[in-house]
Structure 1
Amino acid sequence: MKNILYKGLFLSLLGITMSCDPFLEGTNENPNDPTAVSSAAILPTVQLALAYNYNANFSRVSSMWVQQVEGLDRQWAGYNSYTTVASDRSTDWLNFYVDVIQNANIIIEQSTEDGYNHYVGSAQVLKAFSLMVMTDYWNDIPYTDAFAGVENLQPVYDSQASIYAEVHSLLSIARSNLAASDGGLALSGDLIYSGDTSLWIKAAHAIEAKAYLHEGLLSATNYTAALTSIENAFDSSADDFNFAFGTGAATASPWYQFNRDRGDIGFSPTMDAVMVDLNDPRKDIYDGDNESTFLIEYDTHEFFTIDQAVDMATYTELMFAKAECLIATGGTQADISEAYFAGIESSFSILELDTQYATYIAQAEVSPATITLENVISQKWLALYANPEVYSDWRRTGLPNLTPVSGSAIPTRFLYPQTELDLNTNTPTVTLFEKVDWDTN
């Protein structure tokens, strides 16, 4: 898997040239060794790296901290009780910068030069999503000076506000590029939407809705902006922004590989108790046959399958986001209810539980007379199993109401990696319990 992830970057680095005497020009050139790699070849490596990183430690750690799963052995038992050190996140940081953002920059640069607008736009969407994830977990991050190489080994940290401004800018420009002509080269190598630019445009709106929702506590106008983005985003789950992994041992989904090779995680007793109380049929799909750890049933787990599609932005989550934004902006109960139930129904449908949906929502706990923010976020927590978005929801709203498994507080961010602390004097000193800037809850 790592060979696949690094292939795009390795090949792109082969394009570095040196100034030589004209007499020697071409002497050391290998005609079988490429000096540049096409955007079509780099794009799938960026998509794979993004999906893999998002569904690996970001998913496992954050879903532990919001008590959807539970770490039971070795370092995962430590993470579960909030014992973590800076070096734990060094690889995650590097993977985003090198495998995803740097390679996306290469696509953007060379495709802009060639006029291939659709490659530029899709790479800008991937880059925007990646920057949003990084700042959501680390707050201030290097960006403006981050890709200068040896010319600047001490990049400054850009504020979260400036990173979010860049996210919005990238998504806006991406939509324009995706709506323009392809410049003579159709989008290929696309493992997410198979070159369908209309779906890429919808995904850009969906990611923008997520961004505005994250910023909701900073300004009430962000909820209104999120509603506008949602209306221009997905029409159904068929439009979801996700990446499906393969069925081979080396191309399996991150959770499947972890459960197969480590298996130190199991279903959280907190989520188990809530789902039992609600007679929620999704529990049997989530809990790994109620075994102590997912290792025991790794090959038959109904959710963490070998070819799991990793969700990065979905119709299901947007319906819950719509309900939340309507509550925040004084929407009617009829509109709130419509979005809320659409989110639940979509979740059931994806898991092929359509026939059990009516019975589930007939319960008073699921269908109260007045749908509150607690109802919306609690049902979103149940629907977006092991999705990092739930961690952002909990930080913004304090919902669901969770009791720390250790100490008096649940972590609200990642630590900066040890590599940054050792090599970049601009790295802020933080603790696990400091909040990112949009988390004013």
Structure 2
Amino acid sequence: MKKTLIYSFSVALMLFVSSCDKGFDELNVNKIAATAVNPVFILNNATSNASYTTGSIFYEIGIVQQMVTPNSGVLTGANFNQDNRDNTVQNWQKYYRTVIRNTQDVIDQTKALPTRSNLYNMARILQAYAFMVTTDSYGDIPYLDAGKGYTEQVVLPKYDMQQSIYAGIIKELTEASAALDASKTVELADILYGGNVALWKKFGNSLLLRAGMRLSKVDAAQAQQIVAKAAQSALMEVNADNALIKHDANYVSGVGNLLNSTESANVYLAAPFADYLKKTNDPRLKSIAVRYVGAGSGSEQVASRSTTDPVMQIGMPMGYDNSSISSTFKDVGFKTFYEYSQVDRTRMAKNTAPTFLVTAAQTQLLLAEAAQKGWITGTTAEAYFNKGVRLHMEQLTFFDANAAVAPAAITTYITENSFKAATALEQINTQYWIASFLNGPEAFANFRRSGFPVLTPNPFPGKGIKGTFIRRLTYPNSEISVNSINVKEAIGRQGADDLDTKVWWDK
């Protein structure tokens, strides 16, 4: 009797458990969780991460002598012409981990979907932009194998020659820009242009113009051919065409965040940049600079001491460290180096200031150079030049309403600093230097390509380079230790992994 009761209880328990199991899998599925992500949001992730790294302040922006710090440690870089791989690694990590990875994901998801062809081609353009920044920074990099770690388990990518990378970039930009079609699905959720096909075409074509000009010294014939093709297409002509990343209180500018937090009192306008704006009576100096008169420390850089008067601005000289800088500020009657001019953290370097990737001003100045060289016809170099200068001055209002340049001041500047054919290339590329302020990677690339502006090499006595200027950034230590075979192959082909080695187009 006892055994029968036990048996009956066991059967009942099994039946109870069995009935509980019914629908168990369905019950434990989150019916409101996303099972897929619209690839336009993945593109948005890539776009938002295309903002420049904080490392550009200590390398690219420092190399072209627009900003400088006298401090060492984590801030070491172009200020001392030394290799600090904690900073040189930043372009690599940001563009490969976010922009290239995510654009490749979008490309893989949409390449076989005719209804998402615009999204597919938008991703190709943004990826080409990311590859251009990355290869211009380092030279030979993974290109064909890039972004395939997740999809094809390519965890040790091979490095491609920069010459072949540029061929790929030019092909992608040419094809993708031409293939964009306003009659097909418009990707309204796109954060760069709201899916506006005409503006994406201008972005792609203007980037193609930039790529063509990059080859001007290494292959002038090919450069002319690419530039002429780009010039026949729709290009950026007004500031509404600009490719810019907007920031807000939730998604702040990386550069603005750095300059408003830990390094707020450590980074200054470099004397070559401030002096050039000052001697040419450039109204942009008032928009860019602020000086805290009498500041004895960072905590004394307060609004009551601030002045944006161009006459009062004094940039920090190059070639000094935290100790030796004292010999310079005493000469100009400062209490401390905290009195040197800075980029204004309440306007152009505020947390919510936008990041500009490619602009109409830059595009028009490149057209001015192409016209001066006779590569394109129909509009004079002077007309392009004047338009480019005007556009950049008008662009400053995008940073902050208080950074706006008055129209009359723009006209006066263009009249007083008129275009001269004899010095045209220097004029054009010096203006490109100004128009690329805060866009470190592009300012650095065009400085190497054009040789302008004419800058005096940083005289810091403890430099770690053999030449006069840094020519590239060094590879990440992680690549050297993990992907060593492919890195060594690239180094053997390109040259030593140091700051002196030139990239392919830098002749």
Normalising TM by the smaller chain, what interval?
Answer: 0.7 to 0.9
Q: 2:190 and 2:457 mapped to 1: Cα distance? A: 41
Q: 2:165 and 2:26 mapped to 1: Cα distance? A: 43
* Letter aligned with residue 98 of structure 2: D
Q: 2:429 and 2:220 mapped to 1: Cα distance? A: 18
Q: Work out whether 1:94 is the aligned partner of 2:102.
A: no
* Letter aligned with residue 383 of structure 2: E
Name the residue aligned to 2:246.
244
Q: Work out whether 1:318 is the aligned partner of 2:363.
A: yes
Following superposition, the deviation at residue 231 of structure 1 comes to 4.5
Q: 2:395 and 2:77 mapped to 1: Cα distance? A: 33
Q: Work out whether 1:399 is the aligned partner of 2:443.
A: no
- Contact 1:227 1:322 (C-alpha < 8 Å) held by counterparts: no
CA separation of 1:34 and 1:284: change in aligned 2, threshold 3 A? same
- Contact 1:333 1:371 (C-alpha < 8 Å) held by counterparts: no
Work out which of the residue numbers 457, 464, 472 in structure 2 matches 1:413: 472
C-alpha distance after superposition, 1:265-288 (max 9, x if no partner): 111111111111111111122223
Name the residue aligned to 2:170.
168
Following superposition, the deviation at residue 95 of structure 1 comes to 1.9
Q: 1:330 and 1:128 mapped to 2: Cα distance? A: 24
CA separation of 1:145 and 1:211: change in aligned 2, threshold 3 A? same
Work out which of the residue numbers 382, 389, 392 in structure 1 matches 2:434: 382
Q: What is the 5 A alignment of 1:14-413? A: 30-51=30-51, 54=52, 56-58=54-56, 61-74=59-72, 75-115=74-114, 116-149=116-149, 151-179=153-181, 181-182=183-184, 185-221=185-221, 222-232=223-233, 233-246=235-248, 248=249, 250-261=250-261, 262-263=263-264, 264-289=266-291, 296=301, 300-329=345-374, 335-351=380-396, 352-353=404-405, 354-363=407-416, 365-368=417-420, 370-387=422-439, 388-405=441-458, 406=460, 407=463, 408-413=467-472
| Partner secondary structure for residue 217 of structure 1 | coil
Deviates more, 1:154-163 or 1:71-80: 71-80
Deviates more, 1:323-332 or 1:194-203: 323-332
The structure number with the bigger radius of gyration is 2
State percent identity of aligned pairs: 24
- Contact 1:223 1:329 (C-alpha < 8 Å) held by counterparts: no
Work out which of the residue numbers 472, 476, 482 in structure 2 matches 1:423: 482
Q: 1:28 and 1:432 mapped to 2: Cα distance? A: 56
Q: 1:251 and 1:279 mapped to 2: Cα distance? A: 35
C-alpha distance after superposition, 1:171-221 (max 9, x if no partner): 123224422643xx4303211111101110111100100100111112223
Deviates more, 1:352-361 or 1:286-295: 286-295
- Contact 1:337 1:371 (C-alpha < 8 Å) held by counterparts: no
Name the residue aligned to 2:307.
none
Q: 2:384 and 2:287 mapped to 1: Cα distance? A: 24
Name the residue aligned to 2:502.
435
Deviates more, 1:214-223 or 1:317-326: 214-223
Structure 1: runs of 5+ lacking an equivalent: 1-23
Normalised by the length of structure 2, the TM-score is 0.74
Q: 1:94 and 1:80 mapped to 2: Cα distance? A: 22
Q: 2:61 and 2:170 mapped to 1: Cα distance? A: 27
CA separation of 1:102 and 1:198: change in aligned 2, threshold 3 A? same
C-alpha distance after superposition, 1:218-254 (max 9, x if no partner): 22231342243144211212111111111x1x41212
Deviates more, 1:387-396 or 1:368-377: 368-377
Q: 1:327 and 1:334 mapped to 2: Cα distance? A: 10
| Partner secondary structure for residue 312 of structure 1 | strand
Q: 1:132 and 1:25 mapped to 2: Cα distance? A: 48
* Letter aligned with residue 397 of structure 1: S
CA separation of 1:138 and 1:225: change in aligned 2, threshold 3 A? same
| Partner secondary structure for residue 270 of structure 1 | helix
Q: 1:60 and 1:230 mapped to 2: Cα distance? A: 34
C-alpha distance after superposition, 1:252-309 (max 9, x if no partner): 2122101112223111111111111111111122223467899947885322233222
- Contact 2:173 2:208 (C-alpha < 8 Å) held by counterparts: yes
Following superposition, the deviation at residue 318 of structure 1 comes to 1.1
* Letter aligned with residue 384 of structure 2: A
Name the residue aligned to 1:17.
none
- Contact 1:136 1:392 (C-alpha < 8 Å) held by counterparts: yes
CA separation of 1:166 and 1:366: change in aligned 2, threshold 3 A? same
Q: 1:91 and 1:369 mapped to 2: Cα distance? A: 40
Normalised by the length of structure 1, the TM-score is 0.85
| Partner secondary structure for residue 50 of structure 2 | helix
- Let me know the Cα RMSD of the aligned residues: 2.7
| Partner secondary structure for residue 242 of structure 1 | strand
- Contact 2:58 2:79 (C-alpha < 8 Å) held by counterparts: no
Structure 2: runs of 5+ lacking an equivalent: 1-23, 303-342, 397-403
Deviates more, 1:285-294 or 1:411-420: 285-294
